[in-house]
Structure 1
Amino acid sequence: MKIKKAVITAAARGERLYPVADTIQKAMLPVIDVDGLHKPVIQIIAEEAFASGIEEICIVCAPGDGERYKAAFKSLRDNLVKSFQNAEWANQEAQKIDHLVNNLHFAEQAEAKGYGHAVLCAAEFTGNDPFLLLLGDYLYISDLAQKRCAAQLIELATQENCSVSAVNPTPEHLIGRYGTLTGKQLSNQHGVYKIDKIIEKPSLSLAELELQTPGLRIGYYLCFFGMHVFTPSVMEMLERQVQSGAENIMLTPTLQELAESEKYLALEVKGSRYDLSRKHGLLQAQLALGLAGEAKNETLGTLVELLAEANTRK
């Protein structure tokens, strides 16, 4: 199968980023990317998708935010061209923004009815096509110089012609933050698992009983990375939840149904993800981008200076 569409969920208002998220969508918060340029978070996520072969993107947003995104990107592009006339990097960045806006769609989530409902809002955009799903408040950094996290996932999904979710081995004290799963590792593919069971944010006692995965280090579990490739059947399953009268449409029960009804794999992605909504999440993500990019030495120097200053204040 060919994966050419991506969905980015960005409808939440970002209460944990108060008060900044009251005045700007959290996905438009600026950070310095690995290329050393300031960009909105949503642009960095979109470029992750485009660099991995995606051609069209749908942002699931709160009512009215679609026009705000368009206006913000237009302003950003115009300012680049006017403020840095004849600068090659500015022209290249303006072209990237043009490409993003020209291939961007929006789907509004009128009410907060669960993460599965947010995904379902993009059903008209995805149609009968498979799609890449990304979170609007996660930044992803690959450990591989030439292969993005999304590209790793898309490659396996294309090869195996099935849904694939990215996972990371996660220490047991953190599993309460994530959807956690277990499965059987494929004998011919390292880090690839046939998913058996998924539990959303399990307790450690429940994980010890039901989510142990052979081959992982003791005290580690497979947790969702915040990135998936899904076949169209996921949308059909989510729609059935709506038709059943469920008020809160969750994604995890649908993924359990998916694992029981068709081939569904998990891939240990070589990379890291950073949740911007968590306390100090934006700071951690910025440091990680700095250390992974062109500003590595400058970032290291800044960290050394800050640590030295903190030490003198003791």
Structure 2
Amino acid sequence: MKALVLAGGAGTRLRPITHTSAKQLVPVANKPILFYGLESIAAAGVTEVGIIVGDTESEVRAAIGDGSRLGLEVTYIRQEAPLGLAHAVLIAADFLGDDDFLVFLGDNFVFGGITEIVRRFTEQRPDAQVLVTKVGNPSEFGVAELDREGKLIGLEEKPTEPRTDLALVGVYLFTPVAHTAMRAIEPSARGELEITDALRWLLDGGYDVRAGEISGYWKDTGNVADMLEVNRLLLETLEPAVLGEVDPDTEIVGRVRIEPGARVSASRVVGPAIIGAGTVVTGSYVGPSTSIAENCLLRDSEVEFSIVLADSVLDGVHRVEASLIGRNVTVHVTRRVPVAHRLVIGDHGWVQLPN
């Protein structure tokens, strides 16, 4: 079996972060979300991986390289425009050959991995296997319809009026017959070759397409709220360790990891939390569910339930929570200016100000 991992796309729901970074490389618990998927693929025994890349190809290549440090053999496949998941399979046909394969969306997170999923597919070998889970906003996903016995009977891509609340999880498994389906379908109204249309083609043709409801936790990390929730969940499993410097005036509470080269002084850190290598925290409070990346500076500040990316500064800020702060960002307090705000905000930014 081979794997096809989708790491293109514009990441519009994570702007302005994704104006300068691939959405699949935004870190949770100080590791790019894409790496969790690749690690789960390797753990399932699948080592040949094709990565679909777009405009952020150079960044993805720099982060992953040849895949060897993840136990993988990586081939990069360029998709010139986001023309759909089925289109990604079509352009990867030479790489996939006649092997069974799985498709994994690079910004998806499956807690517990996919080892059991791959094992069942390999043993039973239906023509295709989809995974579903109940969601509160099914119109934002591909939606599956099952009969009373749990058999898959219908699929829709982001319907305005969903028939069910069962969303397709971003992991699909196929035998080579899928290539025939991908070639047979036409672009949707969105101008994309939809994987749901290919699955429906297989269903209509009498092929064995199965659906299984995922038992573990799954998230599509396409927006800030979901990124923060996955970050919180992963930090709950963090292996605590103090590998950097912590002075006697600092209080460490709970599951906290302080990476080598980090320095924490006169502060309080309440886990689960991680402080990256080379980061300096002084006179500050770092609260639960917070990831501070490498080479940051927190001085006289408070942050909780947030992700702070590399090389950023919080200086005299009270209080930051439920936030995603990008790389090389400086947030500081200046003197109060009545009825005025001074803002430098990137395209598609979102700012909340008090009355």
TM-score (normalizing by structure 2): 0.63
Equivalent of 1:61 in 35, 53, 67: 53
AA at the equivalent of 2:144: L
AA at the equivalent of 1:263: D
The Cα offsets for residues 187-215 of structure 1, whole Å up to 9 and x where unpaired, read as: xxxxxx431111222344x51xxx5xxxx
1:55–1:101 distance in 2 versus 1, CA, 3 Å: closer
Calculate percent identity across the aligned residue pairs: 24
Any conservation in 1 of the 2:3–2:46 contact (CA below 8 Å)?
yes
Pair 1:182-2:145 in alignment: yes
**5 Å matches for 1:224-235?**
224-235=168-179
For 1:98 and 1:227, the matched residues in 2 are separated by: 23
Any conservation in 1 of the 2:10–2:22 contact (CA below 8 Å)?
yes
> What does residue 211 of structure 2 align with?
266
Gaps in structure 2 of 5+ consecutive residues: 241-253, 257-270, 274-286, 290-302, 306-318, 322-355
1:264–1:102 distance in 2 versus 1, CA, 3 Å: closer
AA at the equivalent of 1:70: R
For 2:160 and 2:192, the matched residues in 1 are separated by: 21
AA at the equivalent of 2:232: L
What's the secondary structure of 2:159's corresponding residue? Answer: coil
> Which is bigger in relative contact order (C-alpha 8 A, separation at least 6)?
1
For 1:251 and 1:237, the matched residues in 2 are separated by: 9
Number of residue equivalences: 253
**Which protein has the bigger strand share?**
2
Equivalent of 1:286 in 197, 222, 231: 231
AA at the equivalent of 1:71: A
Any conservation in 1 of the 2:7–2:24 contact (CA below 8 Å)?
yes
1:247–1:223 distance in 2 versus 1, CA, 3 Å: closer
Any conservation in 1 of the 2:42–2:72 contact (CA below 8 Å)?
no
Gaps in structure 1 of 5+ consecutive residues: 33-37, 75-95, 143-147, 187-192, 212-220
Equivalent of 1:133 in 103, 106, 128: 103
AA at the equivalent of 2:201: E
TM-score (normalizing by structure 1): 0.70
> What does residue 16 of structure 1 align with?
13
Any conservation in 2 of the 1:8–1:133 contact (CA below 8 Å)?
yes
Equivalent of 1:155 in 88, 95, 119: 119
What's the secondary structure of 2:70's corresponding residue? Answer: helix
1:236–1:25 distance in 2 versus 1, CA, 3 Å: same
For 1:72 and 1:297, the matched residues in 2 are separated by: 28
**5 Å matches for 1:92-171?**
98-100=68-70, 103-142=73-112, 148=113, 150-162=114-126, 163-170=128-135
**5 Å matches for 1:6-45?**
6-32=3-29, 38-45=30-37
The Cα offsets for residues 44-93 of structure 1, whole Å up to 9 and x where unpaired, read as: 2100111111111111111571x44333345xxxxxxxxxxxxxxxxxxx
For 1:114 and 1:243, the matched residues in 2 are separated by: 9
1:310–1:279 distance in 2 versus 1, CA, 3 Å: closer
> What does residue 78 of structure 1 align with?
none
For 2:45 and 2:120, the matched residues in 1 are separated by: 13
What's the secondary structure of 1:303's corresponding residue? Answer: coil
Pair 1:70-2:69 in alignment: no
> What does residue 79 of structure 1 align with?
none
For 1:141 and 1:185, the matched residues in 2 are separated by: 28
1:70–1:175 distance in 2 versus 1, CA, 3 Å: closer
Any conservation in 2 of the 1:11–1:118 contact (CA below 8 Å)?
no
